[in-house]
Amino acid sequence: MKLDKPVTGGPCWAELGTSDLAGAKRFYEELFGWRAETDPRQEAGGYTFAHLGDAPVAALSPLYQEGQPVAWSVSFAVPDADATAARVTDAGGSVLVGPMDVFDLGRFAVVRDPTGAAFHLWQARSFPGAGLLNAPGSLGWVELLTRAPERAVDFYTTVFGWSVNASERYTQWGIDGADFGGMVTMDDKFPHEVPAHWLPYFAVEEVDAAAAAATEAGGAVLMEPTAVPDGPRIAVLRDPQAAMFGVYRAADEG
């Protein structure tokens, strides 16, 4: 990710919905050094901010709805959540939750693209999103996995105006020349029941060490540490509650 702070249209936050909030706190504290603070207000429902130093970098929360999967979600910064939600539906997507206010922090919505991948819209008020990006322990890349890449390109360029930098191997998303994410086409190697989804990657100092630490803390390695041709070293991991996420060597991107 070439972004070091949230910008309009770019990823601004990552949030984990988990079946074991206490266990997730322990796992990510051990893996990334996060300091977790749960919002004490009853109406916050156990929403927990993770910090590196004084900077908020992600959130952990209980599962709020029946059938909600244990998973990481990605939020994108927008100037107007209602207007962007309308563009989502006009472009063939759907609105799952909201738009709605979150205290004085901002306004958000949960939406789904026409290929099946859900994501969040965040209209900042007092809370802009992550206070740190592309640094060890913080969000470092976001990746869309989908079975309909051409439809996805049409949708996201229409809704957000993203640039598309495509090669034979990989498609990257960007804003004004700053690439912040990519897209992978889900082929037969992906089980049919796995839906399209957004996968966050967190920057780390050393991918191999992070993969080993995740295993020691009760997680698992889904994709072994790999050096991407002309790219960074990455791995895909799973936490003890089965949420998937990636790690990404921070030094490989500026």
125 near 108, Cβ under 8 Å? Answer: no
| Residue with tokens 């939750």, as numbered in its chain | 97
| pLDDT value at residue 1 | 55
* Count: domains in the chain: 2
Q: What is the mean pLDDT of the chain?
A: 93
Are 116 and 27 contained in the same domain? yes
Can you tell me the mean pLDDT for 215-242? 94
Are 19 and 120 contained in the same domain? yes
For 177, the token pair is: 């020349």
Separation of alpha carbons 131 and 252, rounded Å? 21
180 near 163, Cβ under 8 Å? Answer: no
Are 104 and 144 contained in the same domain? no
Are 153 and 224 contained in the same domain? yes
Are 182 and 95 contained in the same domain? no
Separation of alpha carbons 203 and 246, rounded Å? 9
Are 15 and 107 contained in the same domain? yes
Q: Which of 100, 124, 148 is the last residue of a domain?
A: 124
Q: What is the extent of the structural domain holding 23?
A: 11-124
| Exposure on the CB side of residue 198, measured as CA atoms within 13 A | 27
134 lies in some domain: no
234 near 224, Cβ under 8 Å? Answer: no
Residue type, 124: A
Are 16 and 119 contained in the same domain? yes
64-106 pLDDT, tens digit per residue, is 888 889 999 999 999 999 999 999 999 999 999 989 999 999 9
pTM for the full model? 0.95
Are 17 and 58 contained in the same domain? yes
Taking the CB of residue 62, how many other CB atoms lie within 10 A of it? 15
161-211 pLDDT, tens digit per residue, is 999 998 878 899 999 878 999 999 999 888 888 999 999 999 999 999 999
DSSP characters over 58-69: EEEEE--STT--
